[in-house]
Amino acid sequence: MDLATVIGIVLSFGLVVAAILTGSSLMVFISVPSALIVLGGTIGAALVNYPLSYVIGVIGVIKNTFFSNLDTPASVIDKFKDYANRARREGILSLEPLLKEIDDDYMRKGLQLTVDGLEPQTIQEIMETEISYLQERHETGADVVAVLGTLAPAMGMIGTVIGLVQMLQTMSDPSTIGPAMAVALLTTLYGAILANLVFNPMSGKLKTRSKEEVLIREMILEGILAISKGENPRIIEEKLNSFLPPKDRVTDQP
């Protein structure tokens, strides 16, 4: 669970609700027509912009802002030090029994290719292709969420225009002015909240998640190539540490 995402959403919505409650009832800011215009319009426009599978897949994409099962860079370095020492002492085939214990599909695939005896250049080509398409998938997911963030305020403005038209058409009846004006203003509010408190921040978090996963995979690729070339475990550690800022690097305790 990503605490930053949870804390951010709870804090932002909590402060907005608290500000509302200091001046009026929360029920004043609840409007079913406004919600239908913003939510329905945003989803409908997204379906025009993207295939159905992309829009449905947004649910899974958004889940990635709350949950992350990535290995830490330090754990990746420790694993490859162990693999390199084992391969150096017992041979590359000694890694084969360990494959079923590896949860990371990318790492398991790379080590399997190494155990199978493929040339380092071939392994690099295969694994770099995986990274390339991973980035493309992540970019698409973040783009879909960003588009939702762009569409929501636009739907809010459309709702505002609808509400104003309804208000102007019924100016002779003062009792209808209030509800029409509420729809006009609340749709703008809903669109702004969805865009600025939900969709746009989540799109940014997804891009950050993508960079983190790409970094881990690049470290894994470097470690696999080093093992396939039979490099010294200490050299492998130094190579993997070069991916990290100095304060995060793994060093052997004296």
pLDDT of residue 30: 87
In a shared domain, residues 142 and 196: yes
In a shared domain, residues 25 and 39: no
In a shared domain, residues 101 and 152: yes
In a shared domain, residues 144 and 245: yes
pLDDT of residue 180: 73
Q: Which two tokens stand for residue 62?
A: 């958004």
| pLDDT, tens digit (0-9, with 9 covering 90-100), for 150-195 | 999 999 999 898 888 878 887 777 777 777 777 788 999 999 999 9
Domain count, the chain: 2
Lowest-confidence region among 10-24, 54-68, 202-216 = 54-68
| pLDDT, tens digit (0-9, with 9 covering 90-100), for 212-231 | 999 999 999 999 999 998 88
| pLDDT, tens digit (0-9, with 9 covering 90-100), for 84-103 | 999 888 888 888 998 988 88
In a shared domain, residues 160 and 174: yes
Enclosing domain of residue 23: 1-30
Q: What is the pTM (predicted TM-score) of this model?
A: 0.83
In a shared domain, residues 26 and 46: no
